[in-house]
Amino acid sequence: MSDQTVRQRSRSTAPTAPPLQPGLLREGARNPGMPLELDWVREVRINLSAVERRAATLGTRRSVKKAWQAAWLLKAVTCIDLTTLSGDDTPGRVRRLCAKARHPVRGDILDALGMNDGSIRVAAVCVYHQLVEAAVQALAGSGIPVAAVSAGFPHGLNPLPQRLQEIHASVEAGAREIDVVVTRGHVLTGNWEALYEEVRAFRDACGDAHLKTILATGELATLRNVARASLVCMMGGADFVKTSTGKEGVNATLPVGVAMARAVRTYAERTGYAVGFKPAGGIRTAKQSLVWLILMKEELGTGWLTPELFRFGASSLLGDIERQLEHHVTGRYSAQHRHPLA
């Protein structure tokens, strides 16, 4: 299945967002951030009912079946940050997870799909700081980066110098991506200057490592706060904006995804820099992954359907995708335990 197959649209007469203008984006350029523009942040408005209607139709207006579905699911695999963030994580579990990251789909399934050429692998492996070294060693030579959750994850309430020290330590241990949770209090009190300075400090501490800012959207009260916080993080130099830690009561939801994707689009249109988007928490099924891919395609265009600009923060998602791919090949559903992760 070619990448062109993945990019084809399923039939629909419903309107979609117009593509970003050719030449608008600085392709491949990392977002450097910009001075904080409070007027821009304060003028953000969200039509809640319209966003909720938009989110409700994402999974109903398009139907992706058969070979098209298999192609989209393979695309989803390449956008997964394969994650383990449990209190009982061990180096052995991380090594097994990294082995799965190298070969996320069984070889016999890929053979049947004509895709067993080594191109199907996950986007990154995400672990706690103390397990970065084990992951780096297990992934040596694969080209798969290690992402570390740092800066007082998941609450982000440690003193700022301590959070910055943890980021430095993760980078020194070999992490090439850093997922940090921002201070929710800055958002809830409208202290945008403090949020901006915090993200700038995170970005400086990351150096060449890419910065993913976690908003913990389930704790931000309103979609307007979500959109405003997304903009401020991008102004501060974030490479990705991420919905959740996966530890909140409410994690990635489609209305939040619409609001954040449109913030990413607005930032790209005004600055020319493409910032990535990462929904995380609660995305467990292949069907859910297809809806999120449709959201990205319709709101931001096919240019965002790459691991450079879109990630799933997930663990169990990969097992269900592999199960659906096996069904496409064999016509039979297998038990979940036939597709272990670690």
The active-site residue, picked from 100, 212, 278, 297, is 278
Peptide bond connecting 255 to the previous residue in cis, omega within 30 degrees of 0:
no
Across-strand partners of 180?
150, 213
Q: Given CA atoms 24, 177, 304, 122 in this order, what sign does their dihedral have?
A: positive
- Reduce the DSSP state of residue 273 to 3 states and report it: coil
**322 alpha carbon, distance to own chain's centre:** 19
User: Secondary structure of the chain: what % helix, strand, coil (to 5)?
Assistant: 50, 10, 40
- Reduce the DSSP state of residue 70 to 3 states and report it: helix
The active-site residue, picked from 179, 212, 239, 297, is 179
- Concerning whether 278 is annotated as a catalytic residue, the answer is yes
For residues 148 and 132, the answer to whether their CB atoms sit within 8 Å is: yes
- Concerning whether 242 is annotated as a catalytic residue, the answer is yes
* Calpha distance 113→67 (Å, rounded): 9
Q: Shortest CA distance to 279 belongs to which of 267, 290, 271?
A: 290
Tokens 């084990």 correspond to 134
In order of 101, 209, 214, the CA distances from 147 in angstroms are 13, 9, 13
Residues assigned a catalytic role: 179, 242, 278
